Structure 1
Amino acid sequence: MLRIHFTDVDLARTRLAPAPDPMFEIAASLHRLQFRGGRWAYAGWYRTTRQRLREAGLERALRSVLLPLYPRAAYFPDFLTPADAVNGLDAGLESILATPPQRVVEEMTILDRTVGAPAWAGQLAGREARQEFAGILRAYFEAVVAPHAEQVQARIEAERAVRSRGLLDGGVEGMLAGLRPMLRWSPPVLEVAYPRQAEDRDLYLNGRGLTLVPSYFNWGEPVAFADPGLPPVVWYSLLHEPEARSVTAGAPDQSLTNLLGRARAVALRAASAGATTGEIARAAGVSASAASRHATALRDAGLITTVRHGPAVLHTLTPTGASLLRAATRRAEDDVTGTAV
């Protein structure tokens, strides 16, 4: 158990990351390759990952470099997931390259003491070796994480919409209270369900605030830096549902035809701001069961994504749904002004 202690200042400085953290998604995806738990939630990713790694010529680097440095264990080096990686892959790689050599050595020593480090790990203290390592990370990201970027972004945006509702209803404490079951808010402490093999510990924020980073590839157990002196960050897992069934030939056209109906058009527009099934029902003037069927059709067409928010579910647009809605809006505007599309 990790217990994170807040003050009023910490609550004011707590934030939810605006985008996926590419460096942590690299780490978490490598953990998925080492662990069978939750495979149903990443079935499509598993089907393509091994082939993509072969095509990119990364199988040897995976076995000899990446997996040894990112063990699914109580510890892997903090410098591999820098806090500012939420600003993008380039920012994360630059932070790895800028890590002081002494810190690299210290963290590799902890890795070796905890689960064993590869014999060459100390070489990463050198700039040249780290540049080569950064190249491997970039290649891995582009091969097996980037192809799923739209799906990851859609799920992160849905999670942000859910947390924003908690924030609006109850402030930061309301947002924290909605993070169950993996994180439990017991004011003024956020209790984090940590890996079983990790020791219980306390983290005092001391006015620094906390950054919460939802992760697509993380499964089950939130992760924080081992070093309490680093910027406080907690990466936590999204609540996954089984992947939607694949669309058969001709189905996309039928799904889009369904959208010409008034109720589903209203549902799509409502989802642009995040809407529960009840809110869709009220907006469209239909029953809750009918609204649920319309949401299912939109989700099967890849236009919305759905996440659970307490006893309710929240529907938000996928990138495809957002593009479709923008195109429809532009067409409507052009029709009003008499502009040809």
Structure 2
Amino acid sequence: MHFTPQDLPRTTVADGADPLWETVLSLHTLRESRADPALAAWRRHAVWHGPGPLRTLFPLVPPRGYFPDFLTPPAAANGVEPALEAVMSTPRTRLRAELAALADGIHTTGQRALPGWTADIAAGDPAALRHLARSLRTYHHHAIAPGWPRIAEQVGRDRALRRHALGAAGAEAMLRTFGPAMRWRPPVLEVGYPVERELHLQGRGLVFVPSYFCRDVPVALADGALPPVLVYPAAANDATAPGDAEGPRLRTYGSGALRDVPTLIGARLRSGA
């Protein structure tokens, strides 16, 4: 990421956890094959309660690679409902372009082709967009909202750390706090990103978004023309599942609890339960 002198004073940290970034990135976590005991019970809960939304959301958010930028609009900073309104108001040209990019990415990586109903979203069909918004809302309600206080707490701790550096010594001092995943070599922020790319901020600044469900490497919007955002794993991960307060089902921890999650995903999606 290439900074200019104008970018530094316009670089900041988001005010809190972003509900749609957490929602979308959790869909990656849900399908991770590696054992993560802290999230085992959360994964089982999310799959058990969300087969309907998952049938819609999984094709749009593959396990790896590109997913459409319109799923994570800036309006999410104001809450879930403003974000969903923004998703449903995405211009048709952008829907077509981003779903075409998704189809290309899926083809390149050998993943399953997009289902036919995504053509209705690409065409801006109001009913299809309402269904997408309803799926995001329902999944967020069951999988993300119950653990939101814990998500917000962890993100808040990270935000306080970055904001302290920013307020005490300026943007460059804050940029030096992100190692080792990011390295500040003025005027470039080097990011351990999954694909090779360069982003020139060109005076627009950058918003850092700490995230609970961003688990490995930072994530940026694919379209460099959009307002620059960099989502990164929130520090001070206490290895506690976000849904820990959801009851006995969410307290069944241990790596063994993860073994049947892929089977459970398939069974729930096939059953239509």
TM score, norm. by length of structure 2: 0.80
Are residue 242 (structure 1) and residue 239 (structure 2) matched? yes
Residue correspondence of structure 1 range 101-250 to structure 2 within 5 A:
101-115=92-106, 116-124=113-121, 125-195=124-194, 198=195, 200-239=196-235, 240-243=237-240
Task: Name the aligned partner's letter for residue 221 of structure 1.
Answer: V
- What is the CA–CA distance in structure 2 between the aligned matches of 1:85 and 1:241, rounded to whole Å? 25
Other-structure match for 1:264: none
Are residue 13 (structure 1) and residue 10 (structure 2) matched? yes
Instruction: After TM superposition, give the deviation of residue 44 of structure 1 in Å.
Output: 4.5
Task: Name the aligned partner's letter for residue 31 of structure 2.
Answer: Q
Task: Name the aligned partner's letter for residue 191 of structure 1.
Answer: E
Q: Deviations over 1:112-144 (max 9, x none)?
A: 111142222121121221012101110110111
Secondary structure of 1:203 counterpart: coil
Instruction: After TM superposition, give the deviation of residue 41 of structure 1 in Å.
Output: 4.1
Other-structure match for 1:61: 53
- What is the CA–CA distance in structure 2 between the aligned matches of 1:189 and 1:40, rounded to whole Å? 37
Q: Deviations over 1:232-277 (max 9, x none)?
A: 0011112323339x99xxxxxxxxxxxxxxxxxxxxxxxxxxxxxx
Other-structure match for 1:91: 82
Higher RCO (CA 8 Å, separation ≥ 6 residues)? 2
Query: Percent of aligned pairs with the same residue?
Result: 40
| Structure exhibiting the larger radius of gyration computed from Cα positions | 1
Q: Deviations over 1:163-198 (max 9, x none)?
A: 123224431111111011222211111111112xx2
Which contiguous aligned blocks of 4+ residues in structure 1 show a shift greater than 4 angstroms? none
Secondary structure of 2:7 counterpart: helix
Are residue 39 (structure 1) and residue 36 (structure 2) matched? yes
Between 1:146-155 and 1:72-81, the stretch displaced more is 72-81
TM score, norm. by length of structure 1: 0.65
Structure 1 contact 76–111 (Cα < 8 Å) conserved? yes
Instruction: After TM superposition, give the deviation of residue 47 of structure 1 in Å.
Output: 4.8
- What is the CA–CA distance in structure 1 between the aligned matches of 2:39 and 2:169, rounded to whole Å? 33
Counterpart of 1:73 (choices 32, 41, 64) is 64
- What is the CA–CA distance in structure 2 between the aligned matches of 1:76 and 1:38, rounded to whole Å? 24
User: Unmatched 5+ residue regions in structure 2?
Assistant: 107-112, 246-273
Task: Name the aligned partner's letter for residue 64 of structure 2.
Answer: A
User: Unmatched 5+ residue regions in structure 1?
Assistant: 248-341
RMSD, matched Cα: 1.9
